[in-house]
Amino acid sequence: MNSNVQSLKTFLGSAARLALVEVAGTKGSTPREKGAFMLVSSAAIFGTIGGGQLEYMAIDKARRMVAPSGGSNRLRSTSRIKADEVCASLDVPLGPEIGQCCGGRVEVLIRLVNAALAAELVAAAEAEEAHLPHVYIFGGGHVGQALASTVALLPVYCVVIETRAEALEGMPETIETRLTPMPEAEVRNAPAGTAFAILTHDHALDFLIVAEALKRGDAAYVGMIGSKTKKATFRNWFLKSADGADAEFARLVSPIGGAAIRDKRPPVIAALAAAEIMTALIVHNAASNSGHHAPQGKAMAG
Asked if 214 and 238 touch (Cβ cutoff 8 Å), the reply is yes
Res 287: pLDDT:
86
Locate the domains of the chain by residue range: 4-127, 132-301
Give the whole-angstrom CA distance, residue 240 versus residue 246: 11
Contact 231, 223 (CB under 8 A): no
Report the C-alpha gap between 63 and 85 in whole angstroms. Answer: 12
**The CATH number of 132-301 is which of 3.40.50.410, 1.10.1530.10, 3.40.50.720, 3.40.50.880?**
3.40.50.720
152 SS3 class: coil
What phi and psi values does residue 234 have, to the nearest 5 degrees?
-65, -45
| pLDDT grade for 291, boundaries at 50, 70 and 90 | low
pLDDT digits (tens, 9 = 90+) for 15-64: 999 999 999 999 988 889 999 999 999 999 999 998 888 899 999 999 99
For the chain, state the CA radius of gyration. Answer: 23
Is the distance from CB of 162 to CB of 140 less than 8 angstroms? Answer: yes
Q: What is the pLDDT of residues 240-274, one digit of tens each?
A: 999 999 999 999 999 999 878 888 899 999 999 99
| The model scores a pTM over 0.85 | no
Is 278 in a helix, a strand, or coil? helix
What is the rounded CA–CA span in Å between residue 65 and residue 62?
Answer: 5
* CA end-to-end distance (rounded Å), the chain: 34
Confidence at 296, pLDDT banded by 50, 70, 90: low
Q: Which helix (H) or strand (E) holds 105?
A: strand 105-112
